[in-house]
Structure 1
């Protein structure tokens, strides 16, 4: 296992180019399973989770050609369905959360799909009921082998229907959309997630010949078609990385320009950081974050403590709450962080407390951060990354802290951030990868 060795307290300066969006990539990489024609996808991030999915697709029989770094051509002309019941498939697919999204395309095109209980971050309960409830409404029959933790689903013919999700699950929405595009008739899909990445998937499917309307809303109408063709698709920049870099600039008092951010797809992210007192400017499609000696957390109109919480889009993404929490430790003022979606995501705060942060973990979902206003800098410690987002939050904390920090289990960070140590060194960070 590898670790990061970091000497913090250095101001950084320069430009950072954002990688392709991890969460979009895991969706759109499954869409080529819907057609026998070639599909070209660009701006694919070179990260562990995405590369695992590409390897899985190739093992299933998808022909994959790497045109250049970040651009691949996929052709799912011949899929080995028998492989989906092997132990090798269970091992590969079970190591990756995003593997769940192969089920919808397989069900739509081949009438059956299989998946082991998928892996991913240990951030709390992440149920799959939404996915399979949607498939069942489209006419599929579902079976779960509790002993093997193996899901199977099949349908002779999917038929359009009315679907009202009990939760606006992003991966559930993506999976159901990919199943419904080849269903017979019309599917009316209410309380669908409408994140930019879902919008991207819908636009990609429409360019393949699907008929999806209502894109960008939570009410989709999907007219089933008999078959889909090939297309070209480019993945958006990763909004989570953009937020991470804004937080990095604030914590390290650095002047950083974040390039090509697709501002119109960032929603409330810029304004949420502004509520922490962080200055940022839109310059064309870039974000310029000036060096700030201090930043002060806003309050509500009546003067009460600010609360920042996650919510389905267009609310604030849960993947950035860990960054917000870290950034707040060096602000002036206090803020309540309310992580509604996952009950284990705030447990990394114990490491920040060891670094000198003042945080009260109220319960698994809420933490109150008492900003130190830089009066007491964080101190370097040894720590272990528990998941992707907590890992990069601890990395940001270490870069701002006095002295040496070591972060173990950085494979978690590599799952979501491409060449992060190299890119940070290019703007002046003292960080090295060690075994």
Structure 2
């Protein structure tokens, strides 16, 4: 098990380029299964989760040509469906939650798909009902083997239908979209997720020949086509990494420019950081964060404590709440962090409390943070990363802390952040992988 050793506090300066969006990459890579023609994808993040998915597709028979660490072509002309029943497939697929999105393309193209119970972050219940409800509405039959925890969907034929999703699940929406683009008739998906990841998936599918309207809204209309072709696609910058860098700059009093951040795709993220008192300037396609000795959390108009909460897009993404929480520990003022979606995602706060943070964990979904205004630095500590987003939040805390910190289980961070220690060390951080 690898670890990070961090010597703090680190005050950094310079420019950094965000990686390609992890969540988008997982979707568009799965979408390459919808065609027998070549699909070229650029700006792929060179991270563990994405690389494992690419390897899984290769084992399924997809021709993979890795042009560079960040670009790859896929040709799914000869998919081996028998491999999906193998022990190796179950082992590989169950370790990567994002690979659940191979089911929609396989169902649409071959009329059947198989999948084991997916793994991923241990951040609370992450049910799969939305995926299978959508498949059933299109005419598929869903079977679940509780003894082997194995899902099967199959259909003699599919037909476009009106589908009202029970929740605006991003991966669930993506799976149903990919099943619907090759399904005869018109499919209407209401309460669809509309994050930039979903928008990018729809844009790529239309380049491949799909007919999708309503992109960017929660009401999608898909007119099924007989087949899709190849295309070229470039992945957006990762808005979670952009947000992580904004929080890191404020927490460490650093002056950082985030290059090629594409601010127009960040939604409410910049506004949420401004409510935390963090200054930034949009300079064309870049975001400049000046060095700040302190930052003051706003209150609501009536003077009540600010609440930072996640919500379906265009609300604040839940993947950044861990970063907002750690940034608040050195702010002036107090804030309530409300993580509505996952009940285990705030359980890393005990590690911040050990570092000297003033946090009250109200319940599994809410934490109140009383900021230190940089008057009392966090102290170095030994900790373990529980998931991707908490892991990078702990890394930000360690960069601002006095003394040496050690973060174990950094494979969790590697799942979502590309060469993070090398890139931050170039800005002046002191991070050593051991």
Q: TM above 0.5, one fold?
A: yes
Instruction: State how 1:389-400 maps to structure 2 within 5 Å.
Output: 389-400=389-400
Unaligned runs of 5+ in 2: none
Task: State the shift of 1:270 in Å.
Answer: 0.4
Question: 2:67 corresponds to which residue?
Answer: 67
Question: 1:246 corresponds to which residue?
Answer: 246
In the alignment, is residue 203 of structure 1 matched against residue 172 of structure 2? no
- Deviating more after overlay: 64-73 vs 74-83: 64-73
Q: Deviations over 1:331-364 (max 9, x none)?
A: 0000000000000000000000000000000000
How many Å separate the matches in 1 of 2:68 and 2:295?
Answer: 42
Question: 2:93 corresponds to which residue?
Answer: 93
Local SS of the residue matching 1:30:
helix
How many Å separate the matches in 1 of 2:368 and 2:20?
Answer: 32
Provide the TM-score with structure 1 as the length reference. 0.99
How many Å separate the matches in 1 of 2:426 and 2:156?
Answer: 55
Pairwise CA RMSD: 0.4
How many Å separate the matches in 2 of 1:49 and 1:67?
Answer: 19
How many Å separate the matches in 1 of 2:430 and 2:208?
Answer: 46
Task: State the shift of 1:66 in Å.
Answer: 1.0
How many residue pairs get aligned? The number is: 434
How many Å separate the matches in 2 of 1:127 and 1:83?
Answer: 25
Local SS of the residue matching 1:356:
coil
How many Å separate the matches in 1 of 2:323 and 2:32?
Answer: 33
Question: 2:263 corresponds to which residue?
Answer: 263
Task: State the shift of 1:158 in Å.
Answer: 1.1
Task: State the shift of 1:326 in Å.
Answer: 0.2
In the alignment, is residue 223 of structure 1 matched against residue 223 of structure 2? yes
Question: 2:308 corresponds to which residue?
Answer: 308
How many Å separate the matches in 2 of 1:14 and 1:119?
Answer: 37
Question: 1:79 corresponds to which residue?
Answer: 79
Question: 2:375 corresponds to which residue?
Answer: 375
Instruction: State how 1:7-406 maps to structure 2 within 5 Å.
Output: 7-406=7-406
Q: Deviations over 1:37-66 (max 9, x none)?
A: 000000000000000000000000000001
How many Å separate the matches in 2 of 1:12 and 1:264?
Answer: 26
Local SS of the residue matching 1:372:
coil
Q: Which runs of structure 1 show a deviation greater than 4 angstroms over 4 or more consecutive aligned residues? A: none
Task: State the shift of 1:69 in Å.
Answer: 2.2
Q: Deviations over 1:397-433 (max 9, x none)?
A: 0000000000000000000000000001100001100
How many Å separate the matches in 2 of 1:397 and 1:192?
Answer: 35
How many Å separate the matches in 2 of 1:185 and 1:142?
Answer: 21
Local SS of the residue matching 2:256:
strand
Local SS of the residue matching 1:104:
helix
Provide the TM-score with structure 2 as the length reference. 1.00
Unaligned runs of 5+ in 1: none
